[in-house]
Structure 1
């Protein structure tokens, strides 16, 4: 492939104005196509003629015609601009087929996105959405994903990204009814399900706020974050968690919220690369913001 010396090429604006003039056979038609005035088109064509040192168009009656040099230049320009337009359209089609790739957590996907995803597809039936339940502590990889959804404490920094707050939820202690019984609960005497899903020292802070000594607790480690909820439902220990992730279980009584206010809040954010957000990603992000608003603390939800 021949290297392109951009310093020797005329400005793109002059090439585009001439190509449209040649293809559409006049300044007025070219001006309509490029949404500028005929005078602006004529000025750009004159600049191109001065740049390359030859006439490209000439008056003929009330119209324009191309000179031999104009004909010679118009054909490769048409091919070049057609290639560019086709390349952009092919890329747009490819991006449309790829859809939106979202890195999230199992529980956010299961509690927030999947139950409502049908609503999104009613609005955007051809837009594919791929969810990767990477977990809250997974590195944020925005080369692989368009959006990363992560939970964190208020004020947490997420690096050099665009960040949109999705929702805020209380952090609570909960357990299966058979674990805590009906009497007064001694939190230090009960097993706790260790945290692999939140990270950042938040679990340790919760233990301290609950008046317990982490070193003296019996910790139940299910092995990974995905099994923490299952372990709690089976009565294996207390679970420290965002209220959002167990809301349905609290409603049906399979888990009970302990009457202790940790005064801790979790905030879920949608994280994107800086710069322009692709149209498909923007559609999904706007939908996320819409569905999360009524789920957040202070939203007025029942």
Structure 2
């Protein structure tokens, strides 16, 4: 990490001059004088201790170092521009930022978002997914619903659904002998060791096979017929309805708890209450 950075204005001036091939055109684009652009680039060259342009009268062309810096600067300014535009999301009056896991968003929430939007068209929902739980104290999140949440300061914490797990596969896979079925392995409760510890019966699972860190991908793989998997009752509801999954037995075992964190600053918001009420009502009717 550099201890000192060149001024952002100098980098903007350089990027414009490099892209347009002219100090004069760069000055016009940035509403500056040509001498100001020249001064910015001279200061940048002094900082870097090497020339960035070949100067031949009014004509300029990039040095090798200039070409290198042009690529870096354009990428940096583009990323900065996108980041700044994204901040406009936080200024929307009806913005509700909801965090969850990619698996829950894709397999449970997405199929039901149309219903929520029809009931609450006033809510401008921003769905923010992450593999790790958020820090509600430092991130701008109104509500988080996940299966890996613990209580956090300045947040209310509530368990909304106690999940169950069961072994399942695509119906076509049932035509094969158990010994020929690939075993799909997940992590945490979706590891087959959890099934065994909880007293699950032998359904032909083996220790080798395919391994997944994302429960959503594990479920996708099972639906695609790649093998047998220990799946979430909650997340697999849609797949079972569509005939993409069939249980290997009637037994289920304890799964993760799906909990909700609501930041103290958002608890009294009617937007948060609308989403929370809708969420609880839909989870209360969740069945295998």
Q: TM-score range by the shorter chain?
A: 0.5 to 0.7
- d(CA) in 2 for partners of 1:247, 1:233: 12
Is 1:106 aligned to residue 102 of structure 2? Answer: yes
Q: CA deviation at 1:128?
A: 0.7
Distance 1:175 1:278, change over 3 A: same
The more displaced of 219-228 and 249-258 is: 219-228
Is 1:125 aligned to residue 121 of structure 2? Answer: yes
CA contact (8 A) 1:99 1:130 kept: yes
**Unpaired runs of 5+ in structure 1?**
1-93, 298-302
Is 1:205 aligned to residue 201 of structure 2? Answer: no
The corresponding residue for 1:245 is 235
CA contact (8 A) 1:191 1:217 kept: no
The corresponding residue for 2:285 is 294
CA offset digits 1:35-75 (Å, max 9, x no partner) = xxxxxxxxxxxxxxxxxxxxxxxxxxxxxxxxxxxxxxxxx
- d(CA) in 2 for partners of 1:216, 1:259: 16
- d(CA) in 2 for partners of 1:272, 1:230: 30
TM (norm. structure 2) is: 0.55
Q: Of 245, 261, 275, which residue of structure 2 is paired with 1:255? A: 245
The corresponding residue for 1:195 is 186
CA contact (8 A) 2:166 2:233 kept: yes
Q: Of 223, 234, 251, which residue of structure 1 is paired with 2:224? A: 234
CA contact (8 A) 1:168 1:296 kept: no
SS in 2 for 1:244: coil
Q: Of 144, 160, 165, which residue of structure 1 is paired with 2:159? A: 165
**What is the 5 A alignment of 1:1-302?**
96-97=92-93, 99-135=95-131, 138-142=132-136, 143-151=139-147, 157-160=150-153, 161-181=155-175, 185=178, 190-196=181-187, 199=188, 203-208=192-197, 209-210=199-200, 217-222=207-212, 224-274=214-264, 277-279=267-269, 280-295=271-286
Distance 1:228 1:140, change over 3 A: same
CA offset digits 1:114-137 (Å, max 9, x no partner) = 3333333344323211112324xx
Q: CA deviation at 1:173?
A: 0.8
The corresponding residue for 1:13 is none
Q: RMSD across aligned C-alpha pairs, in angstroms?
A: 3.5
- d(CA) in 2 for partners of 1:272, 1:229: 28
**Unpaired runs of 5+ in structure 2?**
1-89
CA contact (8 A) 1:171 1:264 kept: yes
CA contact (8 A) 1:222 1:231 kept: no
- d(CA) in 2 for partners of 1:226, 1:112: 10
CA offset digits 1:187-244 (Å, max 9, x no partner) = xx74321214xx36865312443367xx961130256444222211232221112112
Distance 1:96 1:157, change over 3 A: same
Count of residue correspondences: 195
TM (norm. structure 1) is: 0.53
Distance 1:271 1:259, change over 3 A: same
SS in 1 for 2:277: helix
CA contact (8 A) 1:96 1:127 kept: no
